[in-house]
Amino acid sequence: MKKMFICLVGMVMAISLAGCGGQSDAQNGGSAPDSSYTSAVQVLETVIDAYTEEQKFPIGGGDSENLTSEAPGAFDISKTEELDMTLGLPESEAANIDDAASMVHMMNANTFTGAAYRLKSGVQVEEFSEAVKENVLAKQWMCGMPDTMVVIDVDGQYVLTAYGADELIETFKTNALSALDGAKVVLDAPVVENGF
């Protein structure tokens, strides 16, 4: 009976140790921590909820098959060409995300285009931001260039990108930083024809 009891205790300890070994990489000093947000749409909705009535402008969201009006919308990440054309995400970076959402000014995308991306584990925010910046800069603009671009890291797991008119970008940035847990600016620079 004692041998059976000792074996049972040993098995329970082995199972509990295996469970401890399964801690997230963040707890072990690895990649991003678990986010308090469940989707890219929720991240953008949190920002929009911080807008005053005077700050709001007509927005649409989503991709070509999942359009929303007056709210951010989910963006199908398998539509890599559309992510690039609409939001400025290089097709090469689509493999680094597992969720996306957008909010775009209904009158002119150059006035305001914003996106939220959930990065896959191990993707570096700074490298991702630099790739988006370079891609936005390389775009051929119609109907005028955007003034400014901002990239915001949200808790190491989500990244917000936005480009457009100075005033709209500043409002977006201010509301994002005040409304989102763990938000910090990674890039805030004017968009100019020969570089940021």
Q: What is the pLDDT along the chain (196 residues), one digit of tens a residue?
A: 444 333 333 333 333 333 444 333 333 334 445 668 999 999 999 999 999 999 999 999 999 998 999 999 999 999 999 999 999 999 999 999 999 999 999 988 889 999 999 999 999 999 999 999 889 888 776 667 788 999 999 988 999 999 999 999 999 999 999 999 899 999 998 886 544 4
pTM here is: 0.80
Give the domain extent around 130.
38-188
31 in any annotated domain: no
| 188-to-95, 106, 144, 149, 162 alpha-carbon distances in Å | 25, 23, 19, 6, 10
The number of helices, as runs of H, and strands, as runs of E, in the chain is 5, 8
User: Is 159 a member of any domain?
Assistant: yes
In order of 15, 45, 108, 132, 158, the CA distances from 154 in angstroms are 35, 14, 26, 16, 5
Any domain includes 169: yes
- Residue 183 included in any domain: yes
Q: How many domains does the chain have?
A: 1
The whole-angstrom separation of Cα 168 and Cα 26 is 34
The residue among 131, 176, 135 whose CA lies nearest residue 153 is 176
Question: According to the model, what pLDDT value does residue 143 have?
Answer: 66
Asked whether residue 23 is assigned to any structural domain, the reply reads no
pLDDT recorded at residue 193: 56
Q: For 14-47, what is the HEC assignment? A: HHHHHHHHCCCCCCCCCCCCCCCCCCHHHHHHHH
Q: pLDDT at position 142, please?
A: 67
Amino acid at 97: I
For 19, 26, 51, 105, 175, the CA distances from 168, given in Å and listed in that order, are: 47, 34, 11, 10, 11
Is 12 a member of any domain?
no
Q: Give the chain's length.
A: 196
What pLDDT is attached to residue 33? Answer: 52
